[in-house]
Amino acid sequence: MALVTSGSGADQVIAEVAMNGGADPSATTVRATVVQASTIFHDTPATLDKAERLIAEAAGYGSQLVVFPEAFIGGYPRGSTFGFGISISIINPKDKGKEAFRRYHASAIDVPGPEVTRLAAMATKYKVFLVMGVIEREGYTLYCSVLFFDPLGRYLGKHRKLMPTALERIIWGFGDGSTIPVYDTPLGKIGALICWENKMPLLRTALYGKGIEIYCAPTADSRPVWQASMTHIALEGGCFVLSANQFCRRKDYPPPPEYEFAGLGEEPSADTVVCPGGSVIISPSGEVLAGPNYEGEALITADLDLGEIVRAKFDFDVVGHYSRPEVLRLVVNDQPQLPVSFTSAAERTPAAKSDIDTKSY
C-alpha cells in the first residue's frame, strides 16, 4: 500500500457536540488518513479483513483518524444498471436485475449488527477514530451510510445519504434529517456527507451550523472537477476536508456474466481502471495537503494544523460574522420520518420503552 503524505440522529449512542467542546486546545495537530482502496465485491467478510489491514497500516503511521470511501463495506455497484435503462418490460432483463439486487442486499450490513461490532473492535484495537462508508440494510431497503467510531470502541452513530444520485435511487433508500450528525471529539468536530450531496448548499450549511471542523466526504466521483468542489467546501466552511474514493479495476468486481459493466461500449479488460480515485485532504485555507492520488490504492495522509480553522474563520465564518440571519436562515427538520407509526407506542410502560430502546441505536 502506497503512503501519500503531506508536505506540511436517532441512531446516536454518543450525543452530538457534547464530548469535550471542540478540538483539544493542547493538541496542535491531528494526523489523518483517507483510504483509497477497492471493496472486495460480494465478499463482505473479506472486505472487513482488508479494512482491518488498512486501518492497522494507517495506525502504524501514527494516524488518529481514518476515513474510508463511500460504500466500502457492501460495495459501490459501479457499471451495474440492475436491469433498468435497458427495457421498459416488467419481465427480462429486470428479472436479472432483481437477482443482482438480491446478491447486493446479501452483501450489505445491519446497523447495529456483527459487522458494526467488528468495526468498533478495530477502532479500539488500533486506537483511531474511524469513519466508514457502508451499505446499510434495514429490512429489505438499503441505504448508503457512513458510520462513526471512537478509539474506545464505541459506535457513535451514522449518516444516511440524504439524496442518492441518478440510478442510485433504484437501489438505495433516502435518508432524513435525523442522521446529519457532527460529533465533538478530542480531535475536533467530525461529520460527513456522501458524494454529490456535498453539492447541496443547505445540507452543507446544516453541518456548518453544527460547528464542523473535520469535514469527511466519502465519494464515488473521481472526475477532476470534484477537486474544485472539495476546495470550495474547505474555504466556505473554514474546515478541513477529507475526501476518500475507491481505486478500482474491472477485476475488483465479479467477472461476467455474474457482473456486467454497462455504459462502456464493451466489457472492459480485467486491468481496466473503472475508478481512478482522486482522494484528497484540503486545509481550511484551500491548500491541498495530500493528494489527489490517481495512481492506485493508497493511504493519503496529512497532519492537520487545528490553528488553521481559527485563522480561516477570521476572514469568513459562514454561520457567524459572515451570516445575515435576519435576511437568510436555514430551518432543518431533524425528526425521523417514519412510514408507519402506532398510537399505542405512547401507552407503553417505561420498562417496555427502555427494552425497545436498548435494541436499537
Q: What is the DSSP letter of 124?
A: H
Query: Do residues 283 and 289 touch, judged by C-beta distance below 8 A?
Result: yes
Query: Do residues 284 and 23 touch, judged by C-beta distance below 8 A?
Result: no
Q: Which three cell numbers stand for residue 206?
A: 446544516
Where does 168-315 show beta strands of DSSP type E? 182-185, 188-192, 214-216, 240-243, 247-249, 273-276, 279-282, 288-293, 298-305
Q: What's the one-letter identity of residue 191? A: G
Q: For this structure, is 70 an active site residue?
A: yes
The sign of the CA dihedral 138, 146, 79, 272 is negative
Query: Do residues 128 and 51 touch, judged by C-beta distance below 8 A?
Result: no
Query: Do residues 267 and 256 touch, judged by C-beta distance below 8 A?
Result: yes
Quote the distance between the C-alpha of residue 242 and its chain's center: 10
Q: What's the one-letter identity of residue 154? A: R
Please pick, among 16, 52, 57, 70, the residue that the annotation labels catalytic: 70
For the chain, give percent helix, strand, coil, nearest 5: 30, 25, 50
| Longest pairwise C-alpha distance within the chain | 63
66-82: burial string, b at 16+ Cβ within 10 Å, e else: bbbbbbbbbbbbbbbbb
Nearest to residue 31, comparing CAs of 309, 307, 308, 305? Answer: 305
Query: Do residues 181 and 12 touch, judged by C-beta distance below 8 A?
Result: yes
Cα–Cα distance for residue pair 93/166, rounded to 1 Å: 19
Rg, the chain, Cα only: 20
Catalytic residues: 70
